[in-house]
Structure 1
Amino acid sequence: MQSLKLLLPLLLIVHEVRGQWQVWLSESVSAMSATCVVIPCSFTYPSSIAPSPGAIHGVWYYGTPYQNRYPPVVLKTRTDVFHESFAGRTKLLGDLQRGNCTLLMEDVGPQHAGKYFFRADLGGAKAYSFLESTDLKVLEQPDVDVPDDIVSDESLTLTCHAPDNCPGMTPEIQWMYTDFLPDPEFVLNVEEEGNTVVMSRSLVFTPSPMHNGQLLGCRVFYPDTSLVYERLVTLDVKYAPRSVWVNVSSEVMEGSSVTLHCEVDSNPPPRISWKLGDREVLWDTATNLSLTIDEATPEDEGVYTCIGENAYGAMNTSLYLAVKYPPREPSLNDSLTMVEGTSFTLHCSSQGSPPPTLTWLKDGEVVGTVTADELSVLEIQEVTPQDEGQYRCMAENEYGWTSGTLNVTVEYAPVLLEESKCTVVREGVQCVCVGAGNPEPTVEFFLPDSNTTVNETDRRYKFYTHTDGQRTTGMIKLKEKGERGDDATVPAVNVRCKISNVYGSQNVALELQQEKKYLMAVIVGTIGGVAVIAFIIAAVRYVGHNNKKENGLPREDAVLDNPIIYYSAAKKDKQNLRKKVLKTELLGSKFNSILEESTGEDGDFQPSRNLGGVEKRELNLDRPREGGAAGWGGHAHNENDDGATASYSEIKAK
């Protein structure tokens, strides 16, 4: 009951509408150019009006329904007045007396496209212009429905439409250029809306990226006529990036430039980005993108990825860029100070491309193993003093080399060296004690006979020390000889040497060694000196004898220069020989000056009666210089053949 109550007012409204002026027209109708078209039309008028039979007329206007604007008349049933563009083209198909106002228009052209309005005239003042209209579309080519998005691998339907609104002319529709489509399907449809008919043929297939840009065509033709209409469409197939092309992996030298190229195939064009690892370094919306690196550094080395992405998907491809460079300066431990017997480890690391070869050298000699890596470890177990020195790590690859150094210092207890001994010298006994250690050792001498520790100079002996790096040399000179043993030529000594540092000490008795070289040098020097003196005496006598024979008188120009000069030269030669002998017996050049000074103080050439059995020699001068010649020591006087007095010099030789 409630439903009936609601429907009753609606029926009353419909009945009232039906009693008013109304028209039914298709909103639009289409026709192929040069064909005909039927514009369906029907109308009603108020039931209160009763027109006379045959009194109903109608007018079709083009463009506007308002008469005062003088629209072009398409068709007028009361008269033959119409616009020239419609002359001979229009015909009323419907019966106006029955409310049918359908219009036929032949040979339509593009100029006829537009809105068409109908006016009903029932005679007298009973006329009505309807505001409703039909929009006529005149087609030069068929309509094709193409989806806004054609996506790869998704089914696609393209529909070609052709109007079938011309009596006696039925169109046919064909699809062109479908030979390369995958399994195409064709579906024919006929659609009716109002009193208009539209025929269509659909093409169904699944496109792929290869179909992007492909040309397809729809052809509409009318049999038994020459009328043919075609419409071409280009497929815009959307697809995710299907290929990303980049350079192959490459190498570049440090400081050089390199360009990485990327090209992406997708539709629409993708957003391309270059990434180094996870860091984006460049992007753009394009089909290709190049990344240029100027003055490449090792930090630029790594995996570069080109990513192409659009709304339909993404794809990427990577390459590896290697930056070659010579080894960097090695990183090493700090210099070390180790205690003998302990162990240490040295680390060396260096970067290079390709990775460098690391080699350890000690004092220029290869030690350990050669490592083809960025890290090398050198382990030394139970350190000895021989492990001390400069350690160098050399990093090398095909592009260059570099190195770094560190020093290893080994501290150890002192060691007595074999040069330590006591030696007989002219003045008595000289003892030398040489020790090596780190820290450098101290040297002390101990004389057990007198319970004396020697570390400074006193009136009986002299004490010297010298340090050269980790080597300490101590020397003591005993000025008084000890008691003689069985061999009267060798003094008896009892000397101990002590060397010590923070790690320990050594205390040993020094062995007394006869210095044969020194004795032989003294003997040879003495004999040589006597021989020189004898030669001088003989020469003087020979010259004096010749002078007497020639003139019987002394000759001033034949007088020999003072023989003391010759003797002094001989003495000097002997003295130098003595110094050389002493120098060869001492350790270290630092003691040469000390020995030379001490030799002068002791009077190397004082008279001695125990060397070579020579006590004195007399030099008889046949003809001395005027006024006499002063000699070294006392004088003696003898008569020569002429009764002249000769002067004698006493020469003491050692």
Structure 2
Amino acid sequence: MWCLELLLPLLLIINDASCQWNVWVPRDISAMTNSCVVIPCTFMYPSGIRPYRGVHGIWYFGQPYPQLFPPVVFKTRTDIVHESYKGRTKLLGDLHQRNCTLLINNIGAEHSGRYYFRADLGGANMYTFPDFSELKVLDQPNIDVPEEIVSDESLELTCYAPDNCPDMTPEIQWMYTDYLPDPEFSSDYLEESNTAVLSSTLTFTPRPMHNGQLLGCRVYYPNTTLVYERLISLDIKYAPRAVWVNVSSEVMEGSSVMLHCEVDSNPPPKIFWMFGDQELLWDTASNISLALDDVTPAQEGIYTCVGDNGYGIMNTSLYLAVKYPPREPVVNDSMTVQEGTSLALHCSTQGSPAPTLTWLKDGELVGTITADELSVLEILEITPQGDGQYRCLAENEHGRASSSLNITVEYAPVFLEESKCTVVREGVQCVCMATGNPEPTIEFYLPDLNVTINETDGRYNFYTHTDGHTSTGMIKLREKGERIDNGPAVNVHCSMFNMYGRESVHLELQQEKKYMMAVIVGTIGGVAVIAFIIAAVRYVGHNNKNVQASERVSVITSGCLLLSGRLCCSLSYAAILTKVCIFIVTSSPPFFFRK
């Protein structure tokens, strides 16, 4: 019953109603280097054993088997111990009281390990207990740091110092805390299983700026030179708090550009480069660069860098502007319209910056200059003068481009004032001129004779000519040599028509005095020229050594023609043909004259 009463307070193990070989030692115990440590120890042995030579004990290091000759830490029967423990160990307990507590002074790192106790009660009553106490010799204090430190969440850091040396009591200080926001400190003393630990807890709320900062814990023993320090670097997890990218920029089409993104976060984020909803590139890093080569206008737009590290997401965007000269404008197709039609000519193009659009007609400015990618030129009730080439010119600082279209205006015939009848030497010559599109057809009508003259009528000398949209018709009335003096008035109508209309006008007869004046002036001028030519030819013939003096030279005027204000005569002299023309001032229409 005595054995049981002793074991219960000491938490010893009993088997049935009898005591067995048992020992109690702290499984783990720690101490600082160069200090001391006390290993509490209590043992029991079977109640039937009676020590007859006293109770002795041995402390082993490393293993419990004497036959393997483990290092002896302490031995009551002799002072022979392992070299590393000489003068360092002392038994504090009374073995007769089953107290085997051991003191180790001036311990070093080499003393870290397992310690076993062996009881010797004499004779065969010796027993090495398998239970051990493992000593950890520390050269710096322990700091309990959470596996994860998250920004803006309260953090507790605890520094521990063993207090298992009865002659020295440690104290704890925190270092490098000046930069922390509102730090709080608290101390605690924990004693368990006859081992003691002093702790100091630092509480604060970390910020991203504290990532990588140093914190320190110092353990020292007053009245000694023993000081131990431990430094840690704060690894504070925080969501991306800044994303830097290039500033928005402008590049020329066909050039290359590098877009760079840097993200401040811990841990490093997964960085994405996005163009709209399209993912272009990603990597897990603190920065990433996106290379764009041979840039096209299709690549202009918003580029976004996104950083995501699991603690948060942040992004920043930039705008990439691609500059390029105007593209070839798109305009209406060439068209044919009727006079009076209203039109809207469209010109559209693309360019960066937006080009100015200018409408030109046959090289002349029409409409207004538009600073846009679309220009509309409105033409209300187009006239024949609107016929021609229209060109849209697009310009910006990087170049120009243009496109053209043709507008053909169709309209009914229009009578021209040059139309008239004129008395000529051989009769009456009537000219009728009209413009229209399509080119008008011209006919002459003689109401007195109820005769229509056109290209299919061979009874009259009918001539017609077309130049562009202008048609000219000419007839000659009365036969050659027929006198017209005091003759009847000429009654001639000109009829012109195309698909859009018909018009008929009466042609006025040119006054005879004008005709005679023109003939006189023309004839006198022509005679003077002919006389001059004959004199020149004769002079040349007179001085020509190849022509004999007695040779007769004859000059023959083969004929003259007065046409468009010009009198031309053909001459023949000494078998030499010559053509001479002079300009005659006359208001008469062209006519034929033969001497």
Q: Normalising by structure 1, report the TM-score.
A: 0.78
Trace 1:240-639 onto structure 2 (pairs within 5 A): 240-456=239-455, 458=457, 460-480=459-479, 488=485, 492-514=489-511, 518-527=515-524, 561-562=552-553, 564-565=554-555, 599=592, 604-605=594-595
Percent of paired sites with the same residue: 66
Superposition deviation, residue 481 in structure 1? 8.9
Q: Higher helix proportion, which one?
A: 1
What residue in structure 2 maps to residue 174 of structure 1? 173
CA distance in 1: counterparts of 2:154 and 2:584, whole angstroms: 116
> Displacement, 1:162?
0.3
Name the CA shift for 1:254/1:530 in 2 (closer, same or farther; >3 Å): closer
Structure 1 residue 457: deviation in Å? 5.7
How far is the alpha carbon of 1:583 from its aligned partner?
11
1:373 positional shift: 0.9
Distance 1:92 1:565 in 2: 169
SS of corresponding position for 1:382: coil
Larger Rg: 1
SS where residue 512 of structure 1 aligns?
A: coil
Tell me the CA shift for residue 475 of structure 1.
2.0
| RMSD of Structure 2 on Structure 1 (CA) | 3.3
In structure 2, the CA distance between the partners of 1:582 and 1:450, relative to structure 1 (3 Å rule), is: farther
Q: 1:234 to 1:536 in 2, by over 3 A?
A: closer
Counterpart for residue 111 of structure 2: 112
Which amino acid in the other structure matches residue 496 of structure 2? I
Q: CA deviation at 1:557?
A: 7.7
Deviations 1:193-242 (A, max 9, x none): 21110101011111112111211111111111111111111112222222
Say if 1:376 and 1:18 are closer, same or farther in 2 by CA, change over 3 A.
Answer: farther
Q: Residues 96, 534 of structure 1: CA spacing in aligned structure 2 closer, same or farther, 3 A cutoff?
A: closer
Contact kept, 8 Å, 1:36 with 1:106, in 2: the verdict is yes
Tell me which residue corresponds to 1:77: 76
Q: Which moved more, 1:179-188 or 1:326-335?
A: 326-335
Structure 1 residues 446 and 32, CA, compared in 2 at 3 Å: closer, same or farther? same
Q: Normalised by the size of structure 2, how large is the TM-score?
A: 0.85
Counterpart Cα distance in 1 of 2:199 and 2:296:
66
Q: 2:531 & 2:102 partners in 1: Cα distance?
A: 172
- Which amino acid counterpart does residue 332 of structure 1 have in structure 2? V
Structure 1 outlier segments of 4+, above 4 Å: 481-484, 515-518, 525-538, 556-560, 566-586
- Aligned match of 1:22: 22
Report deviation, 1:493: 2.0
CA spacing shift, 1:527–1:154, aligned 2, 3 Å? closer
2:39 matches 1:39? yes
**Counterpart code for 1:510:** L
Q: What SS does structure 2 have at the residue aligned with 1:522?
A: helix
Letter paired with 2:80: V
Q: Distance in 2 between matches of 1:294 and 1:255?
A: 7
CA contact (8 A) 1:522 1:578 kept: no
Summarize deviations over 1:434-453 as a string: whole Å, max 9, x none. 22222222222222222222
The residue aligned with 1:156 is 155
Tell me, in whole angstroms, the C-alpha distance in 2 between the residues paired with 1:536 and 1:125.
173
Relative to structure 1, is the Cα distance of residues 488 and 568 closer, same or farther in structure 2, using a 3 angstrom cutoff?
closer
How far residue 580 of structure 1 moved from its aligned partner, in angstroms, is: 6.5
* Matched position secondary structure for 1:280: strand
Counterpart CA distance in 1 for 2:410 and 2:112 is: 114
Pick closer, same or farther for the CA change 1:579–1:476 going to 2, 3 Å: farther
In 2, the alpha carbon distance for the partners of 1:128 and 1:104 equals 21
Write the letter of the residue equivalent to 1:44. Answer: M
Partner of 1:139: 138
Measure, in 1, the Cα distance between the counterparts of 2:532 and 2:207: 128
Query: Contact 1:244 / 1:265 at 8 angstroms: preserved in 2?
Result: yes
| 8 Å contact from structure 2 (residues 518, 585) kept in 1 | no
Residue 503 of structure 1 deviates from its aligned partner by 1.6
- Measured after TM superposition, the shift of residue 334 of structure 1 is 1.2
C-alpha distance in 1 between matches for 2:37 and 2:532: 163
Is the deviation greater in 527-536 or in 220-229?
527-536
Question: Relative to structure 1, is the Cα distance of residues 195 and 260 closer, same or farther in structure 2, using a 3 angstrom cutoff?
Answer: same
Q: Which amino acid aligns with 1:352?
A: G
Structure 1 alignment gaps of length 5 or more: 1-12, 539-555, 587-591, 606-654
The aligned amino acid for 1:36 is C
Question: Which structure's residues are more often strand, by fraction?
Answer: 2
Partner SS state of residue 275, structure 1:
strand
State the match for 2:190 in structure 1: 191
Determine the C-alpha separation between the residues in 2 that align with 1:305 and 1:451. Answer: 90
Return the alpha-carbon distance in structure 2 between the equivalents of residues 402 and 366 of structure 1. Answer: 16
Matches of 1:532 and 1:301, distance apart in 2: 79
Contact 2:355 2:372 in 1 (8 A): yes
Seen in structure 2, the aligned counterparts of structure 1 residues 534 and 19 have a Cα distance that, compared at 3 Å, is: closer
Give the direction of change, closer, same or farther, for the CA distance of 1:569–1:224 in structure 2 (3 Å limit): same
SS of 2:303's equivalent? strand
Paired positions, count: 559
Give, as a single letter, the amino acid of the residue that structure 1 aligns with 2:30.
Answer: S
- Structure-2 change in CA distance of 1:395 and 1:558 (3 Å): closer
**Residue 365 (structure 1) shift:** 1.5
Give the whole-Å Cα distance in 2 for the aligned partners of 1:104 and 1:146.
Answer: 31
* Contact 2:514/2:587 (<8 A) preserved: no
Residue equivalent to 1:127: 126
